[in-house]
Amino acid sequence: MSTIYARLQRLVSSEICKAGNVEKYAAELRLLAGSVGDDALFRSKEKFFKTLGDSSRLRIVKMLAVKEMCVCEIMVALDVTQPNASHHLNILEREGIVKKRREGKWALYSLNMPEILALINGFFIRKKETHNLFRTANYYGECCIPLKLHIIGSTCNYI
């Protein structure tokens, strides 16, 4: 028996888990993992979130929500080189987050996916609220506060 199944056996033997048969329960767990989405779906989601996993790209998205910008404006705003700014914009464009239009020799970028702002802003707000909540808990001598994260579509709410 592998260590994974040994651990599952210990869990099933405890009062925490109500499953009776370890093999049947393991099959149910594998079925659950397959039912939430296939590998291709999760790879595309992983790529999308990696795209947003860079502070420069997050700033670019937030700036493009305010106004259409050319590469030189982004260079100045972020104090980066042209290749660096173009690299970030190309990554965002490949994921469909921003779009490019040409006007003569200028490449102008704008936000192609405005709904992404709700996702980005939601994470920034939640992190600040959580930090304040834990700081308050420490003040009152509590060691931890149970939080449940409820995800609805592309927004996150604490319940």
Domain boundaries, the chain: 44-111, 116-158
Q: What is the C-alpha to C-alpha distance for residues 106 and 100, in angstroms, rounded to an integer?
A: 10
The pairing of strands 106-111 and 155-158 is: unpaired
How confident is the model at residue 143, as a pLDDT?
37
pTM: 0.62
Q: What is the C-alpha to C-alpha distance for residues 87 and 73, in angstroms, rounded to an integer?
A: 15
Is 14 a residue whose pLDDT tops 50? yes
Residue for token digits 């319940």?
159
Q: Write out the H or E segment, with its range, that includes residue 27.
A: helix 22-35
Average pLDDT over residues 119-148: 51
Summarised one tens digit per residue, pLDDT across range 92-103 is 999 999 999 999
Summarised one tens digit per residue, pLDDT across range 52-94 is 889 999 999 999 999 999 999 999 999 999 999 999 999 999 9
Q: What is the topology classification, in CATH, of domain 44-111?
A: Arc Repressor Mutant, subunit A (1.10.10)
Work out the pLDDT band at 155, boundaries 50, 70, 90. very low
Q: Residue 61 in contact with residue 117, Cβ under 8 Å?
A: yes
Q: What is the C-alpha to C-alpha distance for residues 71 and 112, in angstroms, rounded to an integer?
A: 16
Q: Residue 100 in contact with residue 133, Cβ under 8 Å?
A: no
Percent of the chain surpassing pLDDT 70: 76
Residue 155's region, left for phi above 0, alpha for psi from -120 to 50, else beta, is beta
